[in-house]
């Protein structure tokens, strides 16, 4: 078993981590730390809740520590965890700068430990389904990809009074989709940035549109806080056809309803959520068909960590992918409103 602890006992830990760590076959959650004893979340039977970090550092059973704190604290506590001899999982965005990420990776290597970013969105149903369509070849040679991650939450940027990396939409949500791009397509030949403060100066970044160029392929990642009707999650264009999927992965939707991964239909699309592929076949015949969605499962991150820490397999999220993502985030914020 891989025995682990969490630093942080808020929404990140309880909504996006624990349901999947508890589901993972080879993972045991032993301890959860928070500064205060009181929490809005129910305690899990058999788990030790503590307000003393030494309970984690001094426990030789704990092999992995997950950092689920505000973005600005990721680097500080990940470094502290590694210095105390613990393998470390860090929520995204991993750090605020690529240099901080390099420092953590070097520290982990010097101590024969691993540190990895929690890129669970690699196991989104819509992303996995888009990959399936690309690999099938049914739309022909891929030419263009559009990925959208939209909200209608104007109250968030309207309540902001400053621009920061930790509080930006680019860092907070670009870390999902940019990682998907890098994990599947690799490092781009070039990137074009359109990063904005739609409400003007002294506000958070609330919009971004990034174009990644790979030889013939263009991959666009677009997000806004002001989309009262979301754009499709994925659109693929090839020489022979296209694929469109409107609905996002449903794991987060179910988690918000406290419908847990223990349910057999957790996160699974029904036919009305399926994407549609439209193409012309070798005989010139036109087709339009539904594509059964792949099943997303964030617990695959935890099973991957077990394989890496216990069995010595390669990390699911490569160091260079995390560093490159942070370089892109840094450069994007530097080009805001340019």
For 4-62, write each residue's pLDDT tens digit.
Answer: 999 999 999 999 999 999 999 999 999 999 998 877 898 999 999 999 999 999 999 99
What pLDDT is attached to residue 65?
98
Tell me the two tokens of residue 125: 């149903």
Q: Class of the 2-120+301-314 domain?
A: alpha beta
Report phi then psi at 183, rounded to 5: -70, -30
Alpha-carbon radius of gyration of the chain: 21
Give the Cα separation of 169 and 161 in Å (integer). 14
Cβ atoms of 11 and 293 within 8 Å: the answer is no
Cis, peptide link before residue 93, omega less than 30° from 0: yes
What pLDDT is attached to residue 40?
82
pLDDT digits (tens, 9 = 90+) for 106-162: 999 999 999 999 999 999 999 999 999 999 999 999 999 999 999 999 999 999 999
Nearest to 305 by CA among 43, 130, 88: 88
Residue spans per domain, the chain: 2-120+301-314, 121-296+328-334
Nearest to 51 by CA among 66, 65, 63, 39: 39
pLDDT digits (tens, 9 = 90+) for 211-249: 999 999 999 999 999 999 999 999 999 999 999 999 999
Report phi then psi at 91, rounded to 5: -60, 160
What pLDDT is attached to residue 139?
98
Burial class for 193, CB neighbours closer than 10 Å (0-12, 13-18, 19+): middle
Dihedral (CA of 151, 175, 164, 220) sign:
negative
Give the Cα separation of 21 and 1 in Å (integer). 12
Tell me the two tokens of residue 266: 């957790």
What pLDDT is attached to residue 337?
87
Tell me the two tokens of residue 184: 């599947």
Query: Torsion angle, CA of 17/22/28/33, rounded to 10 degrees?
Result: 40
Query: What is the third-level CATH fold of 121-296+328-334?
Result: Dihydrodipicolinate Reductase; domain 2 (3.30.360)
């Amino acid at each position: 078993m891989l025995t682990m602890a969490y630093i942080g006992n808020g929404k990140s830990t309880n909504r996006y981590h624990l349901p999947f760590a508890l589901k993972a076959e080879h993972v045991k959650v032993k301890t959860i730390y928070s500064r205060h004893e009181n929490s809005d979340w129910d305690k899990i039977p058999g788990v030790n809740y503590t307000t003393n970090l030494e309970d984690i550092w001094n426990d030789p059973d704990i092999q992995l520590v997950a950092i689920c704190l505000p973005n600005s604290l990721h680097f500080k506590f990940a470094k502290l965890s590694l210095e105390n001899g613990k393998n470390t999982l860090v929520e995204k965005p991993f750090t605020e700068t690529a240099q901080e990420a390099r420092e953590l990776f070097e520290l982990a290597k010097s101590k024969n430990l691993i540190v990895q970013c929690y890129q669970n969105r690699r196991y989104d149903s819509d992303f996995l389904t888009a990959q399936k369509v690309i690999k099938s070849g049914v739309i022909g040679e891929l030419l263009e990809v559009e990925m959208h991650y939209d909200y209608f939450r104007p109250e968030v940027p309207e309540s902001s009074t400053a621009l920061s990396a930790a509080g930006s939409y680019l860092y907070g949500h670009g870390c999902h989709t940019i990682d998907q791009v890098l994990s599947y397509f690799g490092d781009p030949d070039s990137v074009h940035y359109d990063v904005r403060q739609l409400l003007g100066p002294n506000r958070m970044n609330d919009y971004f549109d990034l174009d990644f160029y790979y030889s013939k392929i263009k991959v666009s990642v677009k997000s806004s806080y002001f989309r009262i009707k979301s754009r499709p999650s994925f659109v693929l264009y090839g020489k022979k056809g296209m694929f469109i999927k409107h609905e996002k992965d449903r794991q987060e939707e179910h988690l918000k309803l406290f419908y847990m991964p223990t349910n057999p239909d957790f996160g699974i699309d029904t036919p009305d959520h399926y994407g549609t592929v439209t193409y012309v076949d070798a005989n010139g015949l036109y087709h339009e068909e539904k594509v059964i969605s792949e099943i997303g499962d964030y617990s695959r991150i935890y099973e991957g960590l077990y394989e890496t820490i216990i069995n010595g397999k390669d990390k699911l999220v490569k160091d260079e992918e995390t560093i490159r993502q942070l370089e892109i985030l840094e450069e994007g914020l530097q080009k805001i409103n340019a």
